[in-house]
Amino acid sequence: MPSLSKRRVVVTGMGTVNPCGNTVNDTWKALVSGRSGISLIDRFDVSEYACKIAGQVKGFNPDDFIDRKEQKKMDIFIQYAMAASSEAWISAGLSDLNLTPDQKERFGVYIGSGIGGLDTIWAEASQFKGPRRISPFFIPSLIVNMASGSVGIRYGLKGPNSSVATACATGNHAIGDAFRLITHDYADLMIAGGSDSVINPLGVGGFAAMRALSTRNESPTTASRPFDKDRDGFVMGEGAGVLVLEERDHALARGANIHAEVLGYGMTGDAYHITSPSPDGDGGSRVMKLAMKDANITPQQVGYINMHGTSTPVGDQIECRAIHNVFGSHVESLYVSSTKSMHGHLLGAAGGLETIVTIKALETQIIPPTMNVENQDPNCNLNVTPNKSQPHKFSIALNNGFGFGGTNACLVLGKG
């Protein structure tokens, strides 16, 4: 039986593909300099769409990571997950490790996706010519857990292999669930994070129909503006963010470089509305409290929060309210920011990428900015690190992720 004692979990590898860069280092350089990856959509004709902008991954070549034959079996969200996992695996110093059978059974994968293979669904449906013409790879290409399955197959990992689809909280939940698998001794190492890609006519049209997207088409790089009074919706992004989580003694024994420690994890439900969070911020407040309780820390020990901060009029206000509810007067010395202002909202991959961003902030002691804050909303009265990165000494940070259906996740991260 697994031990019920809580083992310590550290981050030894990170990888990403996103609109601001196709590696962790390139992404971090872009974010601290305030460089946006948002532009006009060039993948399909957007002339009839209310929203014509998105954060598209640029310069991605799947040939660098996946055999041509295998690519035919993989939706782009799986390809992004494979690329991010490759960078994370190599950066964790695992590429030269000859895994024993016992190690393979103790290493697992937990990569989620908010939507899964919508590109594959759109492509197949738009050219449907009868049941006999459907590709045999159609279903394996679109199902959410195939990102985890494909990564596990690549590295021969036979430990826990699972996935999660909790909308925009997916990445946080996947990392948090993997963290718990290690703390309770079901695994020694987990590849965990999120991946999503739905910048196609159906995905953009669907979110636009909800009036969730920004229509600031004339100025793509300033369209995503969390906490700004004139924000009008989120900007869709795409990509993947993946971490290697490892039991601390296991990492130390092999001489791994430790980037950060995962200290705690919380999850709650709003039980309020299918898309809107509870106006009093109850779900967000409780999830941060639970995560900090799990980490055995006080609110006063937190120096930075990487907020969900999507740039929606209602969501940003409610998250700010939740932070005030939890941190009280400590908000005066608390730094927060939302890098969605530069890379857009990566949906199920948001938590993976933004956990990496939070870790880089801890490592460098630099708070990445919230860009495009020209007229800060008085209902978002926090130090949102407007328009320019700032140095800040801190040792503990939170990363929030909230999703449709009222699902919430919070991770507590500490310096390695």
Catalytic residue IDs? 168, 308, 345
Q: Which two tokens stand for residue 306?
A: 């990487």
pTM beyond 0.95: the answer is: yes
Domains of the chain and any CATH numbers: 9-260 (3.40.47.10), 266-415 (3.40.47.10)
Q: Which helix (H) or strand (E) holds 391?
A: strand 390-391
Residue-by-residue pLDDT tens, the chain, 416 positions: 344 458 999 999 999 999 999 999 999 999 999 999 999 999 999 999 999 999 999 999 999 999 999 999 999 999 999 999 999 999 999 998 899 999 999 999 999 999 999 999 999 999 898 999 999 999 999 999 999 999 999 999 999 999 999 999 999 999 999 999 999 999 999 999 999 999 999 999 999 999 999 999 999 999 999 999 999 999 999 999 999 999 999 999 999 999 999 999 999 999 999 999 999 999 999 999 999 999 999 999 999 999 999 999 999 999 999 999 999 999 999 999 999 999 999 999 999 999 999 999 999 999 999 999 999 999 999 999 999 999 999 999 999 999 999 999 999 999 98
Q: What's the pLDDT score for residue 96? A: 86
Q: What's the pLDDT score for residue 358? A: 98
Residue 413, Cβ density class (10 Å: 0-12 exposed, 13-18 middle, ≥19 buried): buried
- Provide the 10 A C-beta neighbour count for residue 216: 23
Residue 229, Cβ density class (10 Å: 0-12 exposed, 13-18 middle, ≥19 buried): middle
Q: Rounded CA gap, 202 and 207, in Å?
A: 9
Q: What's the pLDDT score for residue 5? A: 58
- Provide the 10 A C-beta neighbour count for residue 255: 7
Task: Report yes or no: 53 and 38 within 8 Å, Cβ to Cβ.
Answer: yes
Task: Report yes or no: 264 and 6 within 8 Å, Cβ to Cβ.
Answer: no
Task: Report yes or no: 388 and 342 within 8 Å, Cβ to Cβ.
Answer: no
Q: Rounded CA gap, 322 and 327, in Å?
A: 9
Q: Which amino acid is at 226?
A: P
**403 — phi, psi (to 5°)?**
-135, 160
**3-state secondary structure string, 109-131?**
EEEECCCCCHHHHHHHHHCCCCH
Q: Which two tokens stand for residue 202?
A: 């159906």
Q: Are strands 304-306 and 396-403 parallel, antiparallel or unpaired?
A: parallel
Neighbouring residues of 319: CB distance < 8 A, sequence distance ≥ 6? 277, 281, 284, 307, 308, 309, 400, 402
Q: Rounded CA gap, 367 and 385, in Å?
A: 7
Neighbouring residues of 68: CB distance < 8 A, sequence distance ≥ 6? none
Q: Rounded CA gap, 292 and 192, in Å?
A: 21
> Residue with structure tokens 């779900």?
283
For 337, the 3-state DSSP assignment is strand
Q: Rounded CA gap, 349 and 201, in Å?
A: 20
Task: Report yes or no: 157 and 107 within 8 Å, Cβ to Cβ.
Answer: yes
Q: Rounded CA gap, 286 and 13, in Å?
A: 30
Q: Which two tokens stand for residue 363?
A: 């490592």
- Provide the 10 A C-beta neighbour count for residue 370: 31
Q: What's the pLDDT score for residue 3? A: 42
